[in-house]
Structure 1
Amino acid sequence: MEVSKYAKWENRYTTAKNEERGSVPFTSLKTLWFNSGTLCNLACDNCYIESSPKNDRLAYLTLADVKKYIDEVKENSWQLESIGITGGEPFLNPHIIEILEECLSLGVPVLVLTNAHKVLKRWEKKLLALKEQYSDLLRLRVSLDHYTKEIHEGERGEGTFAPTMKSLEWLYLNEFHISIAGRSLFKESQEVAKQGYGNLLKKHKIDIEISPDTLVIFPEMKATEDVPEITVDCWNILNVSPTDQMCSTQRMIVKRKGEASPKVLACTLIAYNKEFELGETLLESFKDIHLNHPFCAKFCVLGGASCSSTN
């Protein structure tokens, strides 16, 4: 086999072994994501987007930024299934409540991914008002890396476990639609993880049945990990469909620091790679995506994960 002159992941169309790279066709827009900005109140180990109190590479989105895309959805009568808000930490964005109001105006579920670490208190009254108006359309997924304090704090820092659990208790007591995002930090079966999270919630009197809708465990993301490239033959070998990948039905909006306008990206995981930038409007982003990034293999094709915001 002829070896390509390119290293792994460098060429959009072929792999380092000179094989045709796998791609994902755009089918329809089902989920629209907004990255509220990369600033975060925590600096977690192996954060896929490197969020931290100092990382402002993606600026805070404003209401005007978000409204532009919500209006585009309305003008084209696109039928979204859901909207997702991610970060950084979305509840650090000073515009988060008005952004949520704009998204909720579409009448579809809106999921906010939050670490819930001392960031909800300032918004409690306004969150309660949103819940009163939109009920279960407003959904929060809390990042709880593990059901033990030791492992969770090993990733997120000392003193982060108890405040997060306190926020979970508040959300549950006030009848918010909540779920949990964990991480595969070591080899542990799904059943063991489910039991561990179930026992933790029971201890805190949070009566939530553990299911795929309430607990999502994501594979660990290490940018330096060596994973195989995805070729066109992989779909049949792995018995995986390209149309089941996130970038077939999802797009994400980001605003890079120093740039006047937001951009549309192919994926929630790959925020800094210009090659995955698809333009300034949703319509021009509706194109096929070649899987030339390690996260495409690790997280989606091989990991089988999904950022679906319907849960």
Structure 2
Amino acid sequence: MQEPPLDQMTRALDPAKFQNPLVTAKGETRATVALTTLETLWFNTGTLCNLTCRNCYIESSPRNDRLDWLTVTDVVRYLDEIARDSLPTRLIGFTGGEPFINPDIIAMLEAVLSRGFDTLVLTNAMKPLRKLRAPLLALRDRYGDRLTLRVSLDHYDPAIHEQERGRRSWLPALDGLLWLARNGFRLDVAGRRYTGETERSLRDGFARLFAEHGIPVDAHDPVRLMLFPEMEPDRDVPEITTACWGILHKSPEDVMCASARMVVKRKAAAAPVVLACTLLAYDPRFEMGRTLAEASRPVSLNHPFCASFCVLGGASCSR
């Protein structure tokens, strides 16, 4: 575990790593994470997006439909399982792609909110959201702060944001964020750490941006402004062993898969499946079954993202 900081790792991933779910390339026992309680259930609404970002972990774009649209019927089936089995789920999250492209998104949000769940939607706040302003206002009126929208602004500097998101992406995103703020929606913001700045510098920069535009987000609150580490599956990172918990002074319960699962529907699939994590949509090793009950078994930390994002990066998509 004597590895350099993640932002200094540029060498290619050792092909012997992350192969065996039980042991590492060095023959050490690989760490696993048990599901202690299903606090958060994520739904990936589909991989289609209005943007093609430079480094999207799920490769979303206007053409990528590897993950099909979920329907409100799909979502309700899992809500029914939560109710039937009295699961302790408190938060339902929606991610993509861009969730507001999915034609059932408003119906899905209504289904979740009407059952009393806190609800989080990850969005770029651009044109797809703008088309749904009226029904979103209606949801706000009925459910208030139980609905949170987390808007992706990769950096407080427009030029750096557009290096990732593409030309002419900054102003539409800021416009969407401002509309949500001025209309009383509960807001979070998601940024990225790819510039090499200190976390304090990043948070101070976002604080200036929010103050300039009257955006009611505390940039120094790690939940209201989440700063995510970069995820590059081909970059070399250390494998996480059982010994790492003590070395890093972490607990398996700190890792996202101890309290969350994600539902996806693969293109042309008959039904959705449950995955261990929001980050591993395409890796069949992390497909855990069609029901939440089937997906309750432990997860082997057998992917570079397990190290770079969750264990060493200390990040979580939930709040």
- Which residue number corresponds to residue 256 of structure 2? 246
Cα distance in structure 2, aligned partners of 1:228 and 1:207: 38
**1:58 aligns with one of 67, 75, 83:** 67
Cα distance in structure 2, aligned partners of 1:209 and 1:297: 28
The reply to whether residue 17 of structure 1 matches residue 26 of structure 2 is yes
Structure 1 residues 118-137: aligned runs within 5 Å: 118-137=127-146
C-alpha spacing 1:236/1:123, structure 2 compared with 1 (3 Å): same
The alpha-carbon deviation at position 170 of structure 1 amounts to 0.4
The reply to whether residue 233 of structure 1 matches residue 243 of structure 2 is yes
Higher alpha-carbon deviation: 99-108 or 298-307: 99-108
**1:155 aligns with one of 148, 164, 176:** 164
C-alpha spacing 1:275/1:207, structure 2 compared with 1 (3 Å): closer
Aligned residue type for 1:276: F
The reply to whether residue 292 of structure 1 matches residue 302 of structure 2 is yes
The reply to whether residue 141 of structure 1 matches residue 144 of structure 2 is no
- Which residue number corresponds to residue 215 of structure 1? 225
The alpha-carbon deviation at position 81 of structure 1 amounts to 2.1
Fraction of identical pairs, as percent? 54
Give deviations 1:161-186, integer Å, cap 9, x for gaps.
01111001100010000010000012
**1:189 aligns with one of 190, 198, 217:** 198
**1:112 aligns with one of 121, 135, 144:** 121
**Unaligned runs of at least 5 residues, structure 2:** 1-14
**1:277 aligns with one of 287, 293, 313:** 287
Cα distance in structure 1, aligned partners of 2:223 and 2:34: 27
Give deviations 1:212-250, integer Å, cap 9, x for gaps.
232000001112111011111111111110111111110
Cα distance in structure 2, aligned partners of 1:214 and 1:21: 33
The alpha-carbon deviation at position 74 of structure 1 amounts to 1.0
TM-score (norm 2): 0.93
The alpha-carbon deviation at position 47 of structure 1 amounts to 0.7
DSSP 3-state at the match of 2:235: coil
Count of aligned pairs:
304
Aligned residue type for 2:92: I
Give deviations 1:17-65, integer Å, cap 9, x for gaps.
1111111011111000000000111011111111111110000000111
The reply to whether residue 91 of structure 1 matches residue 100 of structure 2 is yes
Cα distance in structure 2, aligned partners of 1:119 and 1:260: 27
Cα distance in structure 2, aligned partners of 1:44 and 1:163: 15
The alpha-carbon deviation at position 158 of structure 1 amounts to 0.4
**What's the RMSD between the two structures over aligned residues?**
1.0
Cα distance in structure 1, aligned partners of 2:277 and 2:216: 33
